[in-house]
Structure 1
Amino acid sequence: MRAQNDEMDGIKKHIKSSKDKEDAKPLDKPEQFLFQLSQIPNFCERVFCILFQSTFHECITSIVRKLEILERVCKTLQSGTCVSQVLGLVLAFGNFMNGGNRSRGQADGFTLDILPKLKDVKSSDNSQSLLSYVVAYYLRHFDEDAGRETCVYSLPEPQDLFQASQMKFEDFERDLRKLRKDLNACSAQTENVCKFSSEDILQPFKGKMEEFLGQATTELETQEKQLADTHKIFLELSVSFSVKPKAGEKEVSPNTFFSIWHEFSTDFKDQWKKQNKLMLQERVKLAEECFKQAKEKASYNVKPKHATGIKAKLGQKI
C-alpha cells in the first residue's frame, strides 16, 4: 500500500500549493493515508521486518512438520518390529514356495520392488493372494490385539509414506537458505531502524524485533541440524534395504524409496482391515457359543424331594 514515488510527488505538490489557500481542497482519505505512512521514519525497513516476522513461523512450522513425518517413517522402517516380522514372513513363504528350486528356494533376502507384487501372486484355487495370506498369518501369530478394537496398524501409514515420497532434500535446503537470507536481511534492517530512529519512536519495535531475531535464529539452526540428521538417517536406511539410485540420480531420492513402500502399505492396510474384521466376527461368534453353552448348563429343573421325614409322616396321619 506504500505510495510510489510519482504518487508521493503529486501529494506533496498538492499540499505545498494549497498551504496558504483558504479554499484549497483537502486530501482525500486514501491520499491522506499514504501521506501519513510516508511520515513514519524508516517505514520501508520497519514493514519488511514486521512482514518477515509474520511469515517466518508459518514457513518454519511447515518444514518442521515435514521433517517430523520423514524422520518418523524412516525410524519405523529401520527399527519397527512389525516391519522386520512382515519382511521375515515374505522371505520365509517365498522360500517355501520356491522350495523345489535350488537356485531360488534358499534366498537370504529380496529386493523391495517385490513387495507391491505380492497381491498378484495367487493361490492354486485363486481364492487368496500371497499378500492376504501374509497379513492373516501375521495377525494370528504376531499381533496379540488382532480382531479387537485395540488393534493398531503397525506399518507406516500410507498417507505418511505418500507425503514422504513427495519430499526432496533439495527443497528443504533451498527453503532453509532462503529463510537464512531473509533473516540476515531482517537483522540488517533492524539495525538500520535502530541506528537512524530517535529514542521516542524506537520502541516497541526494537524490543520486539530483538526478541524475535533471537528466537528465529535458534529455530533456524535447530532445523538446519535436523535436516542434516534426517538426511543421514534416510541414506543409511536406503543402504540397509540395498536400494540403489535411479539413472541420473546422485543418491537415492525419497520418491524412489518411499513410492514402493507407499504402494505396499496401501495394499497391506486394505487386507489388514479385512482380516481384522473377519477375526472380530470369529471372536463374536465364539463368545456367543460360549454364552449359549453356559446358559444351557445353568438351565436345569429342580425336582422336589420325596416326603420321607417324621414331620411328613405325621402330616399324612392327620
Structure 2
Amino acid sequence: MDNTVVDLETLHALYENRAQADEMDGIKKHIKSSKDKEDAKPLDKPEQFLFQLSQIPNFSERVFCILFQSTFHECITSILRKVEILQRVCKSLQTGKCVLQVLGLVLAFGNFMNGGNRSRGQADGFTLDILPKLKDVKSSDNSQSLLSYIVAYYLRHFDEDAGRETCVYPLPEPQDLFQASQMKFEDFQRDLRKLRKDLNACSAETEKVFKLSSEENLQPFKDKMDEFLSQAKTELETQEKQLADTQKIFLELSVSFSVKPKAGEKEVSPNTFFSVWHEFSTDFKDHWKKQNKLMLLERVKMAEESFKQAREKASYNVKPKHATGIKAKLGQKI
C-alpha cells in the first residue's frame, strides 16, 4: 500500500468506520430493491462510500494486517528500549567496578565511625535503605556530610580522571534509575501477550486473504505479509526471552542486596529496589559535580602557578661578566 496516497491515520479511520455486517446487509437490500425502479431513492453519500469500500477485495482483513504491521515495530521497540535500560542498570549495580568501590567506602567509613561501638562496629554489610541517609550524617562542625566526604575521597583516591572532562560518573544515571523504578514486569508481560494475540490474529487474517483473493489481487500483499510475519515472530520470541532473562537478573540482584518484598508484594518490585538507588544516585551526582568542579579549579590554579614560575625563570637572565684584568687589556691591544 502506498502510504503517500492514504496515510496510516486515514486508513485507521476508514477501518474504524467501515460498514458492519448488519449495515452492509441493509445497503445491499436497498440496492437490490431499488434496481430497475425509476423513482428509487439513491444511496446517500455515506452509504455510497461504505458500499464502495466493500467492493475492495477483503478490505477489512487487508487493512487490519497493514495497520498491525505499522504498529508492531513501534510497540516491540518501546518494550525493547525499556528492558535494555532495566538490564543495563541491573548489570551495572551487580558487577560495576566503580559501584563496588563506592559501596566499599560506605562500609569502611561506617565501620570506622562505629569503631568504638561493639554492637555496631565492624559490620560485614549494611541494608540498602542506609544509602539515602548518608547525606544526613554531618561532621562535628557541620561543615560537610558523610556523603560529600565519600564522594571527595572516591574522586581523589579512585578516579584518575577526577577534575577532567573525561571523568565518568561511577553510578548508574539517576534518570535511568528513575525509569527503572517506574517499570513493572507484569506490564511488559501483558504487552507481549497482547502483541502475541494480535500477531496470531494478523496471521489468521492473512491466511483468509490468501484463500479468498484471486491471483490478480494476491500480490504484493502475500510476499510482504509473509516476510513481515516471519520477522515479527522472531522478534517477539527474542523479546520474550530477553524479558525473562532480565527478570531473573533483577531477582538475583535484589537477593544479593538482601532486599525483601514490601507488604503485599510476592517478589521485590523494581519500584521498591530502584527508588532507593535513584535517591542515592541523585544526591551522589550533585556532590560529584561540585567536587569535580573544585578539583578542576585546583588543576587550573596549579597550572597557572607552574606557568608563572616558568615565565619568571625564563625572564631572569645572567649577564656575562666583562674581563677587566691586565691580561684582557693586553689582549685588546694586540
**TM-score, with structure 1 as normaliser:** 0.92
Q: Deviation of residue 34 (structure 1)?
A: 2.6
Matches within 5 A, 1:151-230: 151-230=167-246
Q: Secondary structure at the match of 1:284?
A: helix
Q: Taking structure 1 as reference, are residues 194 and 305 closer, same or farther at Cα in structure 2, changes over 3 Å only? A: same
Identity of matched residues, %: 91
How high is the TM-score relative to the length of structure 2?
A: 0.88
Q: Residue in 1 aligned with 2:37?
A: 21
CA offset at residue 170 of structure 1?
A: 0.6
Structure 1 residue 44, shift from structure 2 partner: 1.2
**What's the CA shift for 1:204?**
1.1
Unaligned runs of 5+ in 2: 1-17
Following superposition, the deviation at residue 11 of structure 1 comes to 5.0
Q: Say which of 108, 133, 136 aligns to 2:124.
A: 108
- Secondary structure of 2:57's aligned partner: coil
Greater shift, 301-310 or 221-230, is seen at 301-310
CA–CA separation in structure 1 for the residues paired with 2:203 and 2:162: 56
- 1:81-92 aligned within 5 A: 81-92=97-108
**Alignment deviations for residues 168-217 of structure 1 (CA, whole Å, 9 cap, x no partner):** 11111111111111111111111111011111111111111111000000
What does the per-residue CA deviation read over 1:213-264, in whole Å, with 9 as the maximum and x for residues that have no partner?
Answer: 0000000000010011001000100010011111111111100000000000
| Distance apart, 1:16 and its partner CA | 5.3
The alignment covers a number of residue pairs equal to: 317
Distance 2:30 2:325 in 1: 129
Cα 1:47–1:309 change in 2 (3 A) is farther
CA distance in 2, matches of 1:252, 1:272: 30
Find the counterpart in structure 1 of residue 330 from structure 2.
Answer: 314
Shift of 1:300: 1.4
Single out whichever of 96-105 and 71-80 deviates more from structure 2: 96-105
Q: Which moved more, 1:47-56 or 1:261-270?
A: 47-56
Q: Which digits, 9 at most, give the CA deviation of each residue in 1:252-279, with x for residues without a partner?
A: 1100000000000000000000000000
User: Which of 258, 261, 265 is 1:242 aligned to?
Assistant: 258
Q: CA deviation at 1:163?
A: 0.5
- Quote how far apart the aligned CAs of 1:129 are: 0.2
**How much has 1:140 moved relative to structure 2?**
0.3
Task: Kindly provide the CA deviation profile for residues 50-90 of structure 1, in whole angstroms up to 9, marking residues without a partner as x.
Answer: 11111101110011001000000000000001111011101
The CA RMSD over aligned residues, in Å, is 2.6
Q: Shift in Å at residue 316 of structure 1?
A: 7.3
Distance in 1 (alpha carbons) for counterparts of 2:259 and 2:309: 56
Comparing 278-287 and 300-309, the one that deviates more: 300-309
Measure, in 2, the Cα distance between the counterparts of 1:207 and 1:310. Answer: 111
Gaps of 5+ in 1: none
Instruction: Give the deviation of 1:24 after TM superposition.
Output: 8.4
1:301 shift after superposition: 3.3
* Bigger shift: residues 19-28 or 267-276: 19-28
- CA, structure 1 residues 162+316, in 2 after alignment: closer, same or farther (shift >3 Å)? same
Structure 1 residue 35, shift from structure 2 partner? 2.5
Q: Which deviates the most, 41-50 or 231-240?
A: 41-50
CA distance in 1, matches of 2:34, 2:315: 108
Please report how far the alpha carbon of residue 18 of structure 1 lies from its aligned counterpart in structure 2 after TM superposition.
Answer: 6.9
How far the C-alpha of 1:31 sits from its partner, in A, is: 4.7
The Cα of 1:20 is off from its aligned counterpart by 5.2
Counterpart Cα distance in 1 of 2:309 and 2:320: 26
TM-superposed deviation, 1:10: 6.1
- Deviation of 1:19 after TM superposition, in Å, equals 5.8
1:47 to 55, 63, 68: 63
* Residue 27 (structure 1) shift: 6.5
How far the C-alpha of 1:280 sits from its partner, in A, is: 0.2
Give distance in 2, aligned partners of 1:212 and 1:204.
12
Q: What's the offset of the Cα at 1:26?
A: 7.3
What is the rounded CA distance, in whole Å, between the counterparts of 1:51 and 1:310 in structure 2? 110
